[in-house]
Amino acid sequence: MDRRKFLKTAAVGATASAAFTTNLYAKTSKTLKVCLSWPKTLPIMGEGALWFADRVKELSGGSLKVKIYGANELVPALGVFDACSKGLIDGFHSGPYYWKGKNMAFSLFSAFPFGMVYDEIDPWFDFGGGMDIWRKLYAKYNLLPFKGGNTGNQMGGWFRKPIKSLNDLKGLKMRIPGLGGEVMAKLGVKPVNIPGGEIYTALERGVIDATEWVGPSLDLIMGFQKVAKYYYTGWHEPGSLLELTFNKKKFERLPKEHQAILEAASREMHTRIFNQFQYQNAVKLQELLSGKYDVVLGNFPDDVNEAAKKATQEILNEYANKYKDFAMVYDNIKSFFPKIRKWTDTLPKWYLDIRDKGFIVD
């Protein structure tokens, strides 16, 4: 008799006490297959997923286990969504904007140019309706998403030549995926999408003129500082959300305790990954500023930023007119964003502006 059948029978018999079922779960063990869109060895993200697996085992007393598979170990890096949707795997750790080809609305769950930062996007998911509509849209694919980390603000990227005005972007080949790439295209850039492992060589050989990746935390590991001298801050990914998504039917068949453990551990992983990005960005920025590398750190000129903002608005309007789901998510964001922005501007931003003026810790 399988466990579910047994539980059902036991419940019908009305003899199954809570203690009895809890003991039963502790004696049985289940292993979930979770695939990543990046290598297991990738610092912060791959490492975060492995930490999640350990945490689930610890919280469940070993009755629930998660086996992590790196990109291409079990399914291709970007095949995880379909594999999980079909139930071939139990879950995956990836990013919602990779699936914009399935539904353009998914790009809005990661981050979009000039959109919300972590402190704003996280409350939107938990209390502003973001999680509800994300789950509603993923349910069409038999998927149940959880937040799986956030990269925080991402750097605008590495350029082989300085960007002094909008004109300097014209004709540049840049590796930049997602809506950021579409914005850059409107500014005259030729966006290209090449796999992570090939970016360094492409940049070194001049096949591309620029690339974005994440921030100092992971960029210095890629070695971009050796082949591109100009490193700019950016607006294209102000706080990209990662996801830990499960096959919905498989998840719902798990005992309630196991569901709660997965949810709790995913929350821990989510904040752990964000905090680690922040920490590593701070550490690696110091390395960059130490003069060890011949890198010029700067901001894009105002005309680039203004043109990018205008292009972003055009793209958002265009997609909202074209795609029903995109319009639904965008409308939700539009009702929340001004409110949280008002709060951010009223106190947190004001505080950051005045905090460091002449303060003793310098």
Nearest residue (CB) to Ca ion, 59 versus 116: 116
Which residues ranging from 221 to 250 are in contact with Ca ion (CB under 5 A)? none
Nearest residue (CB) to Ca ion, 154 versus 245: 154
Strand 91-94 with 241-247, pairing: antiparallel
Query: How many whole angstroms separate alpha carbon 181 and alpha carbon 303?
Result: 17
Give the binding range for Ca ion (CB under 5 A) out of 105-113, 149-157, 182-190, 284-292.
Answer: 149-157
Nearest residue (CB) to Ca ion, 45 versus 295: 45
Q: How far is the CB of 342 from Ca ion (least distance, A)?
A: 28
Give the binding range for Ca ion (CB under 5 A) out of 88-96, 131-139, 147-155, 328-336.
Answer: 147-155
Give the binding range for Ca ion (CB under 5 A) out of 148-156, 189-197, 286-294, 326-334.
Answer: 148-156
Q: How far is the CB of 175 from Ca ion (least distance, A)?
A: 9
Nearest residue (CB) to Ca ion, 154 versus 266: 154
**φ, ψ for residue 246, nearest 5 deg:** -115, 155
Nearest residue (CB) to Ca ion, 172 versus 320: 172
Bridge partners (DSSP) of residue 190 are: 173
Q: How far is the CB of 166 from Ca ion (least distance, A)?
A: 22
Nearest residue (CB) to Ca ion, 154 versus 312: 154
Q: How far is the CB of 178 from Ca ion (least distance, A)?
A: 8
Query: How many whole angstroms separate alpha carbon 83 and alpha carbon 75?
Result: 7
Alpha helices in 163-245 (DSSP H): 178-186, 196-204, 216-222
Q: Which residues contact 171 (CB under 8 A, 6 or more apart)?
A: 188, 189, 190
Nearest residue (CB) to Ca ion, 246 versus 274: 274
Find where tokens 């469940």 sit.
60
Three-class secondary structure of residue 210 per DSSP: strand
Q: How far is the CB of 76 from Ca ion (least distance, A)?
A: 20
Query: How many whole angstroms separate alpha carbon 43 and alpha carbon 216?
Result: 12
Q: How far is the CB of 158 from Ca ion (least distance, A)?
A: 12
Q: Which residue is nearest to Ca ion (CB)?
A: 154
Nearest residue (CB) to Ca ion, 41 versus 193: 193
Query: How many whole angstroms separate alpha carbon 271 and alpha carbon 150?
Result: 8
Residue 155 is classified by DSSP as P
Q: How far is the CB of 111 from Ca ion (least distance, A)?
A: 9
Q: How far is the CB of 154 from Ca ion (least distance, A)?
A: 5
Note whether 267 and 201 are within 8 A (CB).
no
Binding mask 151-170 for Ca ion (x = CB under 5 A): ---x----------------
Q: What is the sign of the dihedral through the CA atoms of 168, 170, 172 and 173?
A: positive
How big is the site for Ca ion, counted in residues (CB under 5 A)? 1
Q: Which residues contact 347 (CB under 8 A, 6 or more apart)?
A: none
Q: Which residues contact 34 (CB under 8 A, 6 or more apart)?
A: 49, 52, 53, 66, 67, 68, 69, 89, 90, 91, 92, 93, 244
Chain residues that interact with Ca ion, rule: CB under 5 A: 154
